[in-house]
Structure 1
Amino acid sequence: MPSLPSLIPPRWHALLPGLAVAGLVAATAQFLSEHYGAPAMLMAILLGIALHFLSEEGRTVEGVDFAAKGILRLGVALLGLRISAEMFLSLGPGLLALVIGGVALTIGFGLLVTRAFGQDRAFGFLTGGSVAICGASAALAIAAVLPRREGGERDLVFAVVGVTVLSTVAMILYPMLAGALGLDHRATGVFLGATIHDVAQVVGAGFSVSEETGEMATMVKLIRVTMLAPVVLMAALVLRARGEASASRPPLVPGFVIAFLVLAALNSLHLVPPWAHETAASLSRWALLTAIAAVGMKTSIPRLLQVGGAAISLLVAETLFLAALVLAGLMLL
């Protein structure tokens, strides 16, 4: 009878050490989040950065690289099961146009002003998409289709850390701002869901106001998550047309985007049982946490500091632009 190690393909023998370390970092980040209230994504990437040496040499290098790319795509694809056509219909045309317009205009704003902050268009797209759609998850998905370039992994870590920190600040400040402006529970939910970057912080901010606000904020946020697939798809098509990939053209449609859309369609048709929703949500969260930890391990602090104050200013400007745009739209509606 063959031994267990002999049944494992050689490829996985090389990947397992790095995957195990990334998974352990993800579990540690989740523990810190549950017991001390720290954002799990932020903890995962900070712990990963502290273990940067594991991505440079030794048996863990290949597995860490796979976690930062392959496991990432799995986590993003499974987000499709959180999306349904009913979400769009329940919001109404006016608010739906405001949410979708906020995503598109914020990405456009990032692309437009990025040169003024001394950054290239890829960086503007990365940060603008992170702010506009769904924070760290969007940063990971967008980075997966951008052509390889010097400082690309450094920029990704900066975007993840930056949007997570700003999202945490917004979770505290935005409910107070909505109250000061006299927004009702429904409008407050739309504002929080359309402007805060990460899903966890949207949920925290919304339900801190009321049950109605929390439900509305979560629904609006998931509609923003829906925009991830078309944005990444359009980016892949543009890059393919321009031939900007470093080694070869990107695929016409990235596989994880196809999976995202297929799962969203199945969910809209009510073909996914409740237990599958729960399983997919848990698996997606753990996959993204593991990918974030691996991305952190692939980045060094000295390279991260090279991003500079101008890049931080760009991220803050995109965040303020989205908040001002949504508030103006709510006032008009």
Structure 2
Amino acid sequence: MTDTLDTLRRLFPGLLVALLVALASRFVSEHYGAPAMLLALLFGIALNFLAAEPKVGPGIAFASRTLLRFGVALLGLRITLELVTGLGAMVVGLIVAGVVLTILFGLSVSRFFGFRYRFAFLSAGSVAICGASAALAIAAILPRDEKSEDRLVFTVVGVTVLSTVAMIIYPILTDLMGLNDREAGIFIGATVHDVAQVVGAGYSISVEAGDTATLVKLLRVVMLAPVVALAALVVRSYASEAEMGGTRPPIVPVFVMGFLALAVLSASGLAPEAVTKAGSNLSSWCLLTAIAAVGVKTQPGEVLKVGSGAALLIVTETLFLAALVAIALAYMPSTT
């Protein structure tokens, strides 16, 4: 009991800083419409001088790693059986193909932009699955080096900015493509990176488009678990112990197993609605606090060294996913 209290006292100052940044970000987001994840990251960077404080450092480190894994695990509570049964086999196939092909595309072209597999998988996985949340989950299982935090921050900023741009442009694009409301929802849900921007773009078209976009987006979130589990297995096989900080990662990370267990519980209908709603809200706060902590740990000058090639890679991956889904919808039987 004494050890637990000592640990809490050691972590409390840093956790409090990260939580206050998260609260400020959510407040500004709700009143002015800016993405909360991006705000948390930027506000955190503005307070990066606190990371050097001995009392703050341990809590910031805990929030940026352990808390984010807990938040990713809780995402499983957002999964329902209706996600699959309500969309149909062709749409589910399109979503799975979009995730897999976008990641493979990112890995195959990354060398032309001057990057190897770490940033390629981080950026492509974020674009393909669920933006900042996917970036946090993927970063948690990748071998770490001196540029790991910088690549993560750059990816979060990149996918969040592109999501905001897509939220404005994609509804106009779906109209130019002649898509009906359900098809427009499929396109937006399958291509926009972050959940909040998917909701904003979808419901700006219609209720049907918004509902469809949200379902498609959450089905992409389901792909997070198998992708991260498979990646962790590959990393475990090929990364050296030095790259992993002296330890081998488990075959399936604990937070991925937690995600899967909670997803099964939610999809089976065994979890009360109040529990799933509370867990989903807690997940959002955990991830927001985690990204705030990542921001506090970030040195802006180091992030800029990632370079313009990283931005071009993320944009290219985003355009690839949009083109892939648009072509698939053009050949898919029309739905009403």
Task: Please give the alpha-carbon distance, in whole angstroms, between the structure 2 residues aligned to 1:226 and 1:38.
Answer: 26
Range with bigger deviation, 78-87 or 262-271: 78-87
- Counterpart of 1:173, as a letter, is I
Q: How many matched pairs?
A: 329
- Counterpart of 1:40, as a letter, is A
Cα gap change, 1:7 to 1:66, in 2 (>3 Å) = closer
- Counterpart of 1:12, as a letter, is L
**DSSP-derived class of the 1:150 partner:** coil
CA contact (8 A) 2:184 2:209 kept: yes
Task: Please give the alpha-carbon distance, in whole angstroms, between the structure 2 residues aligned to 1:127 and 1:160.
Answer: 9
Q: How does 1:1-333 map to 2 (within 5 A)?
A: 9-244=5-240, 245-333=244-332
Report the Cα offset of residue 90 of structure 1: 1.8
Report the Cα offset of residue 95 of structure 1: 1.4
Report the Cα offset of residue 149 of structure 1: 1.3
CA contact (8 A) 1:82 1:222 kept: yes
CA contact (8 A) 1:55 1:65 kept: no
Which string of whole-angstrom CA distances, capped at 9 and with x for unpartnered residues, describes residues 159-181 of structure 1?
Answer: 00110000000000000000011
CA contact (8 A) 1:81 1:267 kept: yes
Which string of whole-angstrom CA distances, capped at 9 and with x for unpartnered residues, describes residues 105-159 of structure 1?
Answer: 0011111111110011110000000000000000000000001112000000000
Report the Cα offset of residue 275 of structure 1: 0.6
Cα gap change, 1:7 to 1:112, in 2 (>3 Å) = closer
Gaps (5+ residues) in structure 2?
none
Cα gap change, 1:247 to 1:184, in 2 (>3 Å) = same
Report the Cα offset of residue 7 of structure 1: 9.4
Task: Please give the alpha-carbon distance, in whole angstroms, between the structure 2 residues aligned to 1:132 and 1:7.
Answer: 42
- Counterpart of 2:277, as a letter, is E
Report the Cα offset of residue 86 of structure 1: 2.8
- Counterpart of 1:322, as a letter, is L
Report the Cα offset of residue 252 of structure 1: 1.2
Task: Please give the alpha-carbon distance, in whole angstroms, between the structure 1 residues aligned to 2:52 and 2:220.
Answer: 36
CA contact (8 A) 2:141 2:249 kept: yes
Report the Cα offset of residue 227 of structure 1: 0.3
Which string of whole-angstrom CA distances, capped at 9 and with x for unpartnered residues, describes residues 186-218 of structure 1?
Answer: 100000000000000000000010000000000
Aligned residues with identical type, % of pairs: 57
Report the Cα offset of residue 74 of structure 1: 1.0
**DSSP-derived class of the 1:91 partner:** coil
Task: Please give the alpha-carbon distance, in whole angstroms, between the structure 2 residues aligned to 1:56 and 1:165.
Answer: 29
CA contact (8 A) 1:79 1:260 kept: yes
State the Cα RMSD in Å.
1.2
Report the Cα offset of residue 6 of structure 1: 7.2
Gaps (5+ residues) in structure 1?
none
CA contact (8 A) 2:143 2:239 kept: no
Task: Please give the alpha-carbon distance, in whole angstroms, between the structure 2 residues aligned to 1:252 and 1:7.
Answer: 30
Report the Cα offset of residue 248 of structure 1: 1.5
